[in-house]
Structure 1
Amino acid sequence: MLGPSERQLPKRRRRMASVGSGLPEDILSFEILVLLPVKCLVRLQLVCKLWRATITSTHFAHRHLERSRSKFSFLLMPRRDNEDYSYGIKGVSIFSFEPEQLPTKIAPFLMHKGLRMPMFTLPLHCDGLILIPCLFGRIFVCNPATREFVQLPPGSGHISLQCRVAFGFDPSSGKYKVARHFFRSCSETIDAAGKSTVVEHDAGHEVLTLGGDDQESLSWRATVDPPYPIIARTPACLPGFFYWSALHSLTGHGDDKVRSHVILRFNLRDETFTVHPNPPCRGFRSTYDMLCEIGGKLGYIYSNSQRDAEIWLAEDDGKDLAWSLRCRICLPVPRQIRLHCCPSADQDKVFLSVDTSHLFKCNLRDGTLEEIVDMARKMKYADHEGKLFTSGELLVSHYMLRCVESLLRISPSENEQLACTS
């Protein structure tokens, strides 16, 4: 699969397009059809075999993606936090969202009979594909535009329910990849003197490729083991690199335990790890902190109290990370758990979600906040029948993603069939 920066229009005979258009095939396909939304293109596959072959080709999907990048939208994935997830839920709903406008349900995915989805954590997006990581190590990937929904095969054995995954684009191979960490074994014991904790671990790491045409697609492949045990926190995913938080050292025991963390940068090109320090604001990754992508750079959201936060950005020269403080923020509502960050159309502004409930837009130049919506009480969803409802007092996590429309496949091409369903 070619990457977005490597695509070239193939040399071909300028055959006349079918259905009496009178236009050369390459003009019709790559100058006209490529401008249409995915929903129309899915239906146009039925016109003739030539159009279907063109629309379902990898080359056309990437040309269409190039045109779609400037037309991004925002999606919401609400998750009930107080349901019994031990037996899974029947599906996941995805809503389109524009600030201060009514969210409209666009892709109500219903699980196949017998397929159950455990409680999911923070979803990840890349070029129109959404990865949904769940407890018990189960991982789902969907394309809201084409309605393709795939459960990835299980990875290597993991002794903990709290594993995390990474998802992004590898420019060196032109492929989309998923990575996961796991523990073969892990134990903490007190040393003979009774003064310190000894941590023994056997950690692993593996990668899976999406949408390829070879045997490697949709199968896990082991990489080198991480130099330090990766902790169960959502990584930051940038083109070509995944950034994990890992436990560097642990001293003391009981209430006197002191942890220090580092950042592991995983290079998708050569599949190696390098070790980098946390930003100077904190030597360990607190439950209240978060790694994220901000304006194409690695970001770190540091929150030392319920009312204060800082945003740090890293310059990555390929060898080292140089951290700098971008802004300080005074939160108008108290933070209980953490802040989530979502890019906006403005490079100098990001959306900040406090506990996935209160949404603000943050000016990175001075840290000022503009309130967007109280997602729990003032944001109205629409169900299948058009009835409006709010989550109200229910414990709901409103996960927000910036997304683009795409025709990218999840499954290998020979098994791919696009289906447009309501």
Structure 2
Amino acid sequence: MSKKMIIYNPSTREIVSLPKGSRNLHKGTGIGFGFDPRSSKYKVARVFYQRDDETSMLVCKFEVLTLGTINVWRQTEDPPYPIGKSTPVHVKGAIYWMVSRTSLCPDPPNTLVRFCLTDEKFSLFPCPCNVKPSCLTGLGDELYCGYFFSQPLRLEIWGCSVVGQKPEWTRRCALQIPPDVIKRPVASPLVVFHGKMLLLALKKVYKYDIQACKLEKIPLVVEDFMCYDRENNMYQTYSKKEVMDFHLFNYVESLVSIREF
């Protein structure tokens, strides 16, 4: 599969290719996607690294593309701390990133970096218990942090409604994980409706029933996948053999064409 960036609507199976962003000198890149309530536009946010002219050190940079405009990347202010390639989370008009440990920032603070899609400014967002989370996810108007502990093997989920200047975190649940079920840290918890939670460990997915405190594996089959490329007026098929990575996401179903964004 090519490394080009695309926007994909799972409901309509429609894709739109994005223009190339600034050159990235760091392995991997972090990309966020969200809705700006002021302009009613969707925006794509991208992290990239370039060398400082004076020190020749890699510096974390940031750029934004607004869908439905001239589709040009605009560079913003630099993030306050380095951001890695981990998948960010969009909640209520802002994108949340975890701080990355680099040679320029060997001991990063236990905080999240928040990027507001309206004014395109950065701010710091506190973590629960002042501890860096293992992963992030979001559902509706709430931001969730997941903490994976090895002794004993358990996962804690903390939620925050991200309202006001002083966010309040609440521990939503804590589950014991049998070592014979999941032997590696959970990559990304996904909280869903009806008291169920989906957990991803490598390419295996598990369902946790919060009420019954029951954990079970979900059969998963990766299939070939076809989508429609409006720009070239053609269908494209992606083979399951080309799948290099695996993620779980929440999304709101929409039958609106991407071209109308």
**Unpaired segments of 5 or more residues in structure 2?**
227-239
Cα gap change, 1:227/1:370 in structure 2, threshold over 3 Å: closer, same or farther?
Answer: same
- Deviation, structure 1 residue 380: 8.2
* Residues 252-283 of structure 1, C-alpha deviations (whole Å, 9 max, x = no match): 9xxxx65444211111111111112322162x
Corresponding position of 2:189: 341
Corresponding position of 1:178: 44
Corresponding position of 1:231: 84
Corresponding position of 2:159: 313
Cα gap change, 1:383/1:293 in structure 2, threshold over 3 Å: closer, same or farther?
Answer: closer
What are the equivalent positions in structure 2 for 1:215-294 lying under 5 Å apart? 216-247=69-100, 258-280=107-129, 282=131, 284-285=132-133, 289-294=134-139
* TM-score, normalised relative to structure 2: 0.77
Q: Give, in whole Å, the separation in 1 of the partners of 2:183 and 2:124.
A: 30
Whether 2:198 is the aligned partner of 1:351: answer yes
Cα gap change, 1:170/1:380 in structure 2, threshold over 3 Å: closer, same or farther?
Answer: closer
* Partner SS state of residue 258, structure 2: coil
Cα gap change, 1:404/1:235 in structure 2, threshold over 3 Å: closer, same or farther?
Answer: closer
Q: Give, in whole Å, the separation in 1 of the partners of 2:107 and 2:147.
A: 18
Q: Give, in whole Å, the separation in 2 of the partners of 1:251 and 1:179.
A: 22
Corresponding position of 2:142: 297
What RMSD over aligned residues (CA atoms) do the two structures have, in Å?
3.5
Match of 1:353, as an amino acid?
Answer: L
* TM-score, normalised relative to structure 1: 0.50
- Deviation, structure 1 residue 151: 1.8
Q: Give, in whole Å, the separation in 2 of the partners of 1:152 and 1:164.
A: 15
What are the equivalent positions in structure 2 for 1:185-196 lying under 5 Å apart? 185=51
- Deviation, structure 1 residue 242: 0.4
Match of 1:271, as an amino acid?
Answer: E
What are the equivalent positions in structure 2 for 1:99-118 lying under 5 Å apart? 117-118=2-3
Cα gap change, 1:316/1:250 in structure 2, threshold over 3 Å: closer, same or farther?
Answer: farther
Q: Give, in whole Å, the separation in 1 of the partners of 2:82 and 2:163.
A: 25
Between Structure 1 and Structure 2, which shows a larger proportion of helix residues? 1
Cα gap change, 1:154/1:324 in structure 2, threshold over 3 Å: closer, same or farther?
Answer: same
Match of 2:119, as an amino acid?
Answer: D
**Unpaired segments of 5 or more residues in structure 1?**
1-88, 90-116, 119-137, 190-198, 385-390, 414-422
* Partner SS state of residue 316, structure 1: coil
C-alpha contact 1:175 1:209 (8 A) present in aligned 2 = yes
- Deviation, structure 1 residue 405: 4.3
Q: Quick one: which of 218, 239, 247 aligns to 1:373?
A: 218
Q: Give, in whole Å, the separation in 2 of the partners of 1:258 and 1:382.
A: 42
C-alpha contact 1:235 1:244 (8 A) present in aligned 2 = yes
C-alpha contact 2:30 2:83 (8 A) present in aligned 1 = no
Identity of aligned residues (%): 31
C-alpha contact 2:204 2:217 (8 A) present in aligned 1 = no
Q: How many residues align?
A: 242
C-alpha contact 2:6 2:16 (8 A) present in aligned 1 = yes
Corresponding position of 1:164: 30
Q: Give, in whole Å, the separation in 2 of the partners of 1:174 and 1:240.
A: 10
Q: Quick check: which has more Rg, 1 or 2?
A: 1
C-alpha contact 1:165 1:179 (8 A) present in aligned 2 = yes
Q: Quick one: which of 360, 374, 382 aligns to 2:207?
A: 360
- Deviation, structure 1 residue 141: 1.3
Cα gap change, 1:251/1:226 in structure 2, threshold over 3 Å: closer, same or farther?
Answer: closer
Match of 2:49, as an amino acid?
Answer: F
Match of 1:356, as an amino acid?
Answer: K
* Partner SS state of residue 99, structure 2: strand
Cα gap change, 1:374/1:397 in structure 2, threshold over 3 Å: closer, same or farther?
Answer: farther
- Deviation, structure 1 residue 326: 1.7
Cα gap change, 1:260/1:179 in structure 2, threshold over 3 Å: closer, same or farther?
Answer: same
Corresponding position of 2:235: none
Match of 2:40, as an amino acid?
Answer: G
What are the equivalent positions in structure 2 for 1:65-76 lying under 5 Å apart? none
Q: Give, in whole Å, the separation in 2 of the partners of 1:383 and 1:247.
A: 33
Q: Which has the higher contact order (CA 8 A, sep 6+)?
A: 1
Match of 1:173, as an amino acid?
Answer: S
Q: Quick one: which of 313, 320, 323 aligns to 2:169?
A: 323
* Partner SS state of residue 61, structure 2: strand
Cα gap change, 1:140/1:404 in structure 2, threshold over 3 Å: closer, same or farther?
Answer: same
Corresponding position of 2:59: 202
